Structure 1
Amino acid sequence: MAFNKLPKTIFYSLFSFWIILALGAAGSWYWWKNAIAPVSSSEEELITVEVSEGSSGQEIGNQLEEKDLINSTLAWRIWLFSLRLEDNTDDLRAGSYQLSPSDSLPEIGQQIREGKVLSTRFTIPEGWTQRQMAEHFEELGYFSAEEFLAAVENIDRDQFPWLPDDIPHLEGFLYPDTYQIPRDRATPDSIITLMLNRFAEVALPIYESQESPYSFLEWVTLASIVEKEAVVDEERSRIAGVFAKRLEEGMRLAADPTVEYGLNIEQTEEQTLTLEQVNTPSPYNTYLNSGLPPTPIASPGKPALEDSLNPPETDYLFFVARYDGTHIFSETFEEHEEAQRQIQN
């Protein structure tokens, strides 16, 4: 029967059905576009969301809606269902996220699906001790200083077999650098692993590249003292040369930073080391003890490591610091005493 021969009632019923179907489809499409659209146009606003381990997709959707990051939890459930149809999974990863309401629902969901967790960045300057690091991490709100100082005493030689034997802690082997780590992984162990891996990446090739009169531990220890003494970059290699010559001739290093480390103090221009402090016995006191201290006293950077492994030849045996960070170098003790008088005056 020809379409134009249909009874009018049936014709109008079919026509109405297709109109309703088209309007419904258009309405659904309009609703969907609005449901997944960004909540806000502000690109500067970032909202932190904590997704706990084991959270369901519905729980995450409710949290996103409560924080005004998505328009509809129904649209969120539909989006998750479409993922399941597409690749048979709708897994969402736990962690801390910084999300923007200027992103659409699929964009926000994809960040959580891919685990693009909130990262944190920290910088450890050259010459810092593990105690300074601990205090810094506490100030950043990662964990307590005590937690970090306890963790650096756990020597994992299975994971890091290159670490020297019989060291009581990791002082000197936590490489100074700028690091980025997922915020929810900012634990003492994770950060220590990150820094030890960086030390192995930077320092081990330097030591293995040439013959050295020092053991691995002696080399890092010497580099840490050079790092603490050298304020001006141009003087670093010369300072390394002086220390190498003193060790070669059996002289005590007489380095202030070793005394400071042993007493857990830090001298300043206003409060310099006293004679009593210099004469206080300590395994780290290189005024009283010959040779190198038992461990490094800080974290040396790459230049100090390189200069300490291959120091230049020098006739200097002494140096004394000016108040601007530079030093006066001397070949004899008499010249050294005169340099000290000049600075004091």
Structure 2
Amino acid sequence: MNAVKPTFKWLYLLAIPPILLGIVAFFGWSWWSKETAPPQLDAQSSSTPGKTVQVQIPQGTASQQIGRQLETAGLIRSTQAWKLWTSWLSFNNKQGGFKSGVYRLSPTQSLPEIADQIWNGKVVQLDYTIPEGWSLQQMANYFESIGFFKAEDFLAATRDIPKDQFSWLPDNLPHLEGFLYPDTYKIASDSITPKLIVRQMLKEFERVALPVYQQAQSSTNFSLLEWVTLGSIVEKEAVIAEERPRIAGVFTARLKQGITLGSDPTVEYGLGIKQTQDQPLTYAQVKIPNPYNTYINQGLPPGPIASPGLGSLKAVLNPENTDYLYFVARYDGTHIFSRTLREHNAAIAAVRQQQSR
């Protein structure tokens, strides 16, 4: 076999597209310089070699803007290197594109490693926590405060009842109050939308709470909506877990005897206010008519006033068999329970006297 002459080898080399030659040369310098020199850190970044930096890439960010963001964060040395790398991806028709989301990156990673992570959407898993007893409005304010989305966008999503996916949801719900299960969740940072979070929380209610009701359905007179509604009232009234069955027992007894529930949290919910120790509900506020005012209206309100936890939901199904009909908060988490209105009024006076000291 005849050997190829050197002159022909040079001709083959000249046939390589200039952009590939430029990339090879540039990355040879880029990789070497990154290994031999410390990264330039942005003043706002706490990154140091060996530590990770959290970078958020919004939806629709151009690739060159991503490069500038990475350079500012001290993760790459040059936006020119990033530009050449993205050109190489385009030249080779690599499928996909850079994905939005939150990424945890390290200055010790090479530029191709960082690009690969963003190209393939290897985003950070974010946590969010919804405490028991929160209303939809509290959730909305929380999501806006942590930068997920606007409060109103979340509330709009809760008014879209997904009966097609969750056929067990009660009919004619105006919103999903009470059915978004309180818990700590993980979600990919590139897929945070109000709709997705609503579905995630409904699935958790379906997994955790719904089976509890279904197992007790034959032994309870409460519909699903009534169960969650009373559970939400117990959740808002009870502070100490041990008192939940007794509080549920008081409300169950009042319902059976046709006595109004007289629950402060229902009045607060209907008026959109929050009473405090220094500013309790006034008699005038308690007399304001609204569908959720259980001082005026007999029976349960139209729907839940918050998202109850499993403890309160179970208490409604297994209430304490009690002859107590009243209770008043001591403001230390406990309550004074009374059998008669006279005892109840005396308990209220005792609590007020103690608070005035």
Normalization by structure 1: what TM-score? Answer: 0.80
2:289 maps to 281
Moved more, 230-239 or 217-226: 230-239
In 1: Cα distance, 2:309 partner to 2:81 partner: 54
Change (3 A) 1:298 1:75: closer
1:46 maps to 53
In 2: Cα distance, 1:128 partner to 1:52 partner: 30
SS for the counterpart of 1:224 is: helix
Q: Which residues in structure 2 correspond to 1:2-151 (within 5 Å)?
A: 34=32, 37=35, 40=39, 42-48=49-55, 50=57, 64=70, 68-71=74-77, 89=94, 91-96=96-101, 97-151=103-157
2:192 maps to 186
Sequence identity percentage: 52
SS for the counterpart of 1:283 is: coil
Per-residue CA deviations over 1:174-205 (Å, capped at 9, x if unaligned) read: 11112222334322212212211111111111
2:44 maps to none
Change (3 A) 1:194 1:254: same
Q: CA deviation at 1:283?
A: 0.7
* Structure 2 residue 269 is matched with structure 1 residue 271: no
In structure 2, runs of 5+ residues without a counterpart are 1-24, 40-47
Instruction: Indicate if the aligned counterparts of 2:160 and 2:175 stay in contact, CA closer than 8 A.
Output: yes
In 2: Cα distance, 1:98 partner to 1:319 partner: 51
2:3 maps to none
SS for the counterpart of 1:185 is: coil
In structure 1, runs of 5+ residues without a counterpart are 1-26
Q: CA deviation at 1:118?
A: 3.7
Q: 2:229 aligns with which of 221, 238, 248?
A: 221
**Aligned length, in residue pairs:** 316
Moved more, 320-329 or 103-112: 103-112
Supply the RMSD in Å over aligned alpha carbons: 3.1
Instruction: Indicate if the aligned counterparts of 1:279 and 1:288 stay in contact, CA closer than 8 A.
Output: yes
1:3 maps to none
Instruction: Indicate if the aligned counterparts of 1:134 and 1:144 stay in contact, CA closer than 8 A.
Output: yes
Moved more, 88-97 or 200-209: 88-97
Q: CA deviation at 1:281?
A: 1.0
Instruction: Indicate if the aligned counterparts of 2:57 and 2:66 stay in contact, CA closer than 8 A.
Output: no
Instruction: Indicate if the aligned counterparts of 2:140 and 2:151 stay in contact, CA closer than 8 A.
Output: yes
SS for the counterpart of 2:196 is: helix
In 1: Cα distance, 2:155 partner to 2:340 partner: 42
1:292 maps to 300
Change (3 A) 1:74 1:135: closer
In 2: Cα distance, 1:148 partner to 1:51 partner: 19
Normalization by structure 2: what TM-score? Answer: 0.78
* Structure 2 residue 314 is matched with structure 1 residue 306: yes
Q: 1:170 aligns with which of 176, 191, 200?
A: 176
Moved more, 230-239 or 140-149: 140-149
In 1: Cα distance, 2:26 partner to 2:262 partner: 81
Larger radius of gyration: 1
SS for the counterpart of 2:252 is: helix
Change (3 A) 1:36 1:312: same
In 2: Cα distance, 1:39 partner to 1:156 partner: 52
In 1: Cα distance, 2:69 partner to 2:275 partner: 52
Q: CA deviation at 1:208?
A: 1.0
Q: CA deviation at 1:28?
A: 11
Instruction: Indicate if the aligned counterparts of 1:39 and 1:102 stay in contact, CA closer than 8 A.
Output: no
Q: CA deviation at 1:75?
A: 8.7
1:207 maps to 213
Q: CA deviation at 1:68?
A: 4.2
